[in-house]
């Protein structure tokens, strides 16, 4: 599926639920980050996931539904990778970005930064909590500048 169609179907909540995979999450996040600043990308992703979950009747519980910490932290990782490799590994679309960065392929990548206890704290669902195992990477460009 091309990038524009993915964004359109995600935003209109018409993307088939079985296609809302980890890969699709990363691709949508990458596309928002490519088009908007971090804060706007986060706001759009947050609203989009909440609307998509509601349209697909995803229950909101401790281990299900929207989690602000998970969304924010994963978006942060994607932005750190995007910025670090932008000059040396340019890509044409979200599929190419995903394929080029296997470090983002695991839906469990946040386990490097967060303990399970930290991510399921009730507060983590509604506000961003800093990691408790290791800090998230800084945003740096391909030349090392911040």
In a domain, 40, yes or no: yes
The Cβ-side half-sphere exposure at 69, using a 13 Å CA radius, reads 25
Q: The domain containing residue 86 runs over which residues?
A: 3-126
**pLDDT score at 24:** 98
Structure token pair of residue 81: 């990778």
| Separation between Cα atoms, residue 101 and residue 81, nearest integer Å | 8
**pLDDT score at 88:** 81
| Separation between Cα atoms, residue 88 and residue 64, nearest integer Å | 37
Cα separations in angstroms, 104 against 11, 24, 50 = 23, 12, 22
Residue 110 carries which DSSP code? Answer: G
In a domain, 34, yes or no: yes
In a domain, 131, yes or no: no
**pLDDT score at 70:** 96
In a domain, 13, yes or no: yes
In a domain, 143, yes or no: no
**pLDDT score at 145:** 62
In a domain, 132, yes or no: no
Under 8 Å CB-to-CB from 102, ≥6 apart: which residues?
Answer: none
**pLDDT score at 64:** 84
Tally Cβ neighbours within 10 Å of residue 27: 22
In a domain, 146, yes or no: no
In a domain, 133, yes or no: no
Number of structural domains the chain divides into: 1
Q: What is the pLDDT along the chain (146 residues), one digit of tens a residue?
A: 899 999 999 999 999 999 999 999 999 999 999 999 999 999 999 999 999 999 999 988 877 889 999 999 999 999 999 999 987 888 999 999 999 999 999 999 999 999 999 998 999 999 999 999 999 999 876 666 66
To the nearest 10 degrees (0 to 180), the angle between helices 3-11 and 38-55 is 60
| Separation between Cα atoms, residue 133 and residue 54, nearest integer Å | 32
């Amino acid at each position: 599926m091309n990038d524009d169609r993915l964004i359109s179907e995600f935003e209109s909540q018409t993307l088939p639920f079985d296609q809302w995979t980890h890969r699709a999450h990363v691709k949508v996040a990458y596309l928002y980050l490519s088009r908007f600043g971090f804060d706007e990308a986060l706001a759009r992703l947050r609203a989009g996931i909440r609307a998509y979950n509601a349209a697909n009747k995803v229950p909101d519980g401790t281990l299900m539904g929207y989690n602000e910490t998970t969304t924010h932290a994963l978006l942060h990782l994607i932005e750190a990778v995007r910025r670090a490799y932008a000059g040396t590994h340019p890509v044409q679309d979200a599929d190419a970005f995903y394929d080029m960065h296997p470090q983002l392929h695991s839906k469990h990548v946040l386990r490097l930064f967060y303990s399970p206890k930290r991510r399921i704290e009730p507060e983590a669902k509604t506000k961003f909590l800093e990691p408790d195992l290791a800090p998230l990477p800084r945003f740096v460009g391909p030349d090392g500048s911040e």
